[in-house]
Amino acid sequence: MLAQVEAKAEARKQQFEAANAKISARAGRNIFFAVTTGVVLALLVVAALAFKQFLLLPLALVVAALALYELATAFRKAGRRVPRVGVIIGGAVVVTLSAMQGPDGTITGMHIATGLLVVWRLMESLLPQFHVKWRSMIADLAAGVFTLVYIPFLLSLIVQLALIPTNGAMWVFSLLLLVILNDTGAYVCGLNFGKHKMSPRISPNKTWEGFVGGATVVVAAAVFVCGPLLGMPWWGAALLGLAVVCTATGGDLIESMIKRNLGVKDMSSFIPGHGGILDRLDSILPTSVPFYAAGLALGVL
């Protein structure tokens, strides 16, 4: 009897491993690790929103630091010397002042971070091994400014949404929900119906059929779920959904282009089954813009 139970358990284990291997091969990553890690990350976000007075800022600072390290390292591999420590310190200033002072803090923080970046890179150039021509210096600084705008500035918008006194958690929940639904809808529809490539050189797996599938799911969820949660009229929610489809897809394509130019699959291996922090934020960060605009339009920011 015991032998039969053990045999059945072993058979089910082998079936699970075979199914996981098949799905992982199609997705390009270990799905079990990806799902497990995704659940852990979701719990961290829920905890940060539930106890945002204590956990939101520390979590945002950690996320910003890891993402800045990844992107600065990627630029350095491409020959652009972006000071990693400098942008991490500057990013911490932007996120912290944003949480404390709102939009004014974000603007002040960006001024401080940009000034720090310029001074840091100029001081580095005084060392013989880091001395470059002015044209290359300007390119380095441009890459650094892009890094600051792409990560801490956009992340600060999400922090401000989370700190809305009445329903900040619902704003962040809606943002994450629509991004996840866009990715999921595009993946499922593209996998089953995809025939026309959207951008073969940048992201070979993306199709227009997947784009339409993701857009359909997102707009429906925006109208019937997010609109009521945020006190938004149906047409406003529909417009927000369409904007999310564009920003989420565009953000994914931008990071794919960066990674393709660098010849890497993932920005790093910080998150098991997911790659790097930026591999998870590529669609989320740009989507902060339409959500922030919606918050301004509704007068909650």
Three-class DSSP category at 207: strand
Instruction: Over range 286-291, report the average pLDDT.
Output: 96
Q: Name the band, by pLDDT with cuts 50, 70 and 90, for residue 23.
A: very low
- Confidence (pTM): 0.84
Helix locations, the chain, DSSP H: 2-27, 31-50, 52-77, 84-101, 103-125, 134-148, 154-162, 168-193, 208-221, 227-230, 234-262, 277-281, 284-298
Three-class DSSP category at 206: strand
Average pLDDT, the chain: 84
Instruction: Over range 181-195, report the average pLDDT.
Output: 84
- State how far the alpha carbon of 240 is from the alpha carbons of 185, 193, 209, 234, 289, in Å: 17, 26, 21, 10, 10
Three-class DSSP category at 271: strand
The percentage of the chain sitting over the pLDDT mark of 90, rounded to a whole number, equals 47
Instruction: Residue 137: count other Cβ atoms within 10 Å of its Cβ.
Output: 18
Task: Please report, for the chain, the start and end positions of each structural domain, with discontinuous segments joined by +.
Answer: 52-163, 166-301
CA 172, CA 160: separation in Å to the nearest integer?
A: 10
pLDDT digits (tens, 9 = 90+) for 134-179: 788 899 999 999 999 999 999 999 999 999 998 999 999 999 999 9
pLDDT attached to residue 24: 47
Residue with the larger pLDDT of the pair 98 and 16:
98
Instruction: Over range 263-277, report the average pLDDT.
Output: 63
Instruction: Over range 40-58, report the average pLDDT.
Output: 80
pLDDT attached to residue 274: 54
Residue with the larger pLDDT of the pair 88 and 51:
88
pLDDT digits (tens, 9 = 90+) for 191-207: 888 777 877 777 777 88
For the CA atoms of 228, 234, 239, 242, what is the dihedral angle to 10 degrees?
Answer: 70
Instruction: Over range 247-257, report the average pLDDT.
Output: 87
